[in-house]
Amino acid sequence: MNEDQRSLLLSSSSRFPPPQGVRLSYGTAGFRADAALLESTVYRVGILAALRSLKMDGSVIGVMLTASHNRVSDNGVKIADPSGGMLSQSWEPFADALANAPTSQHLLQLITEFVEKENISLEGVRRAEILLGRDTRPSGESLLEAAKQGISSILGAVAIDMGIVTTPQLHWMVRARNKGIKASELDYFEQLSSSFRCLIDLIPSGSKISEVDEKLVVDGANGVGGEKLEVLRKMLDGMVVEIRNSGKDGGVLNEGVGADYVQKEKFAPSGFGSQDVGLRCASLDGDADRLVYFSVPSKSCNNIDLVDGDKMLSLFAIFIKEQLNTLSKEGTENTSSSYHARLGVVQTAYANGASTDYLKKLGLEVVFTPTGVKYLHEKAAEYDIGIYFEANGHGTIIFSESFLCSLEARYQEFSSVSKGSEQQKAALRLLAVSKLINQAVGDALSGLLLVEAILQHMGWSIQRWSELYKDLPSRQLKVKVVDRTAVITANAETVVVRPPGIQEAINAETAKYPRGRSFIRPSGTEDVIRVYAEASSQEAANSLANSVARLVDQFLGFGSS
Ligand SMILES: CC(=O)N[C@H]1[C@@H](OP(=O)(O)O)O[C@H](CO)[C@@H](O)[C@@H]1O
Ligand SMILES: [Mg+2]
């Protein structure tokens, strides 16, 4: 590292001292905390992003300022790798060390050692390009400045501000830039709208949906997703969409609204109620990378019929399986008859037991990973087509490049020898899905369009979709403890290996409940232990969740020894 670079780092970092008495961890989805604590961390993530770009031969890297479903006073920062996915897990320890370095000297020492180990040249001869995005949180603007300062403290690094965008939009832009395709926000909207229209044009003539099922009402979580859906809606003249909680009418981000609230509390979001009985409703989360659907069952209650990430996964799996079955039918005389694609489905321990049973009965390969998009995405990428969703509505579909190449070739074959055939349509539908779905990360807007297209293709109402299988009643709780990192889990977070004894106690409690299942894990985004329980009745699920929460408090709570 030359003297110019050293003095630049020392002088700039001295303007961003780390918060006292706080230890930050990159967690499930980047650094996340009260916004007032984050300026130094965001500055240092700016440095990290610049180094990551230099390490990746100048590939474009993304930095997103968001705290997703957390309350508005929080904020966070996470990196989008050149593939558009999450930061490589191998760099997370360095990210943690950077964020927690106590002084500028320590920070400089860390960077010096790291760039030597990683063979990163800091002579300023290479260009590093970082796309910056932020959601609608008030703290975003000042944290954006800190990120820019961090980036510009690395010689040759350039920050490009993409403004207020959804998290998936930024990931999509990074992926598109590194694939050498057009990557503006308009390009994003055009890709989604044109591929959506392609699927609508391919709807079988017999599929009809009733008038009441034409309308969709969307809860925008008072966040960035509502305003972006407004733009998209104007490009989709075929869709009847009403957007509420867009953030324009003074509502507070994620407060009583949004996909996390709807999925966890199973309550209708603010602005929804008895006037919406029977309608198809959807809810985005605060940065529009999560989506759930719901319907209001009757005028009497505030509860909802939730159609969660597991059901979206099931809908996508049915549709894709149908197209693959059509393609694998004996080909016409001039095309190859055998056609096999490896379709995989990835879930986490939060997936409702009924969904896993349903998917296995469909003959699908179902595998599990720990919570966090980075784990599911990595696993899904092992298939020709990998579908992953968390129950809370994080998820997407990944198509391998080799599969898409062979699919494109098959589509061309069909177009010349059997134009208009069912095989040709099936190939075109899958190609359209691969363009509509955001393959970088879970994207509430692209997921919503795919759900809408498939429901129209099937001629299904939300009620018909929800009846695919009946969820086992479940309950999630959060428990504040002295130190959540004391809990170490294994087997995709389904068992606790440390502290000793608690898993045996959970097992004994769970055994008391028919079809009981329960697990605990440390949250990566909030300072809590999360408790999940499901059983044959809601009362039993609630009781099991409360019993396990008491065990957590006994073993780990403030009163524990
Ligand atoms: C139970 C739950 O909803 N966990 C969420 C939450 O992670 P935690 O580590 O559980 O806080 O936020 C993550 C990032 O948004 C998301 O990937 C994950 O599904
Ligand atoms: Mg989110």
185-220: pLDDT as tens digits: 999 999 999 999 999 999 998 887 777 788 999 999
Buried b (16+ CB within 10 A) or exposed e, 104-138: beebbebbeebbeeeebebebeeebbbbbbbbbbe
Q: What is the pTM of this model?
A: 0.93
Share of the chain above pLDDT 70, in %: 98
Look up residue 267 and give its two tokens: 């309550």
- Give the span between the Cα atoms of 58 and 79, in whole angstroms: 15
Specify whether 73 is catalytic.
no
* Partners of residue 366 on adjacent β-strands: 345
Choose the residue to mutate in 525, 529, 530 for probing ligand 1, maximizing ligand atoms within 8 Å of C-beta: 525
The ipTM, to two decimals, is 0.97
Residue-level pLDDT at 275 = 92
Is residue 19 reached through a cis peptide bond, with omega within 30 degrees of 0 on the bond before it?
no
Q: Is residue 335 very low, low, confident or very high in pLDDT (cuts 50, 70, 90)?
A: very low
Q: What is the mean pLDDT of residues 25-42?
A: 93
Ligand 1 atom with the shortest distance to the CA of 260: 3
Residue-level pLDDT at 209 = 77
Q: Is residue 125 very low, low, confident or very high in pLDDT (cuts 50, 70, 90)?
A: confident
Neighbours of ion ligand 2 (CB under 5 A): 68, 285, 287, 289-290
Name the strand (E) or helix (H) holding 547.
helix 538-556
Ligand 1 atom with the shortest distance to the CA of 348: 19
CA-based nearest residue to 81, from 374, 460, 318, 371? 374
- Give the span between the Cα atoms of 275 and 558, in whole angstroms: 45
Cβ atoms of 296 and 283 closer than 8 Å? no
Tell which wins on pLDDT, 124 or 471: 471
Q: Is residue 302 very low, low, confident or very high in pLDDT (cuts 50, 70, 90)?
A: confident
Cβ atoms of 146 and 140 closer than 8 Å? no
Residue 250 has pLDDT above 60, yes or no: yes
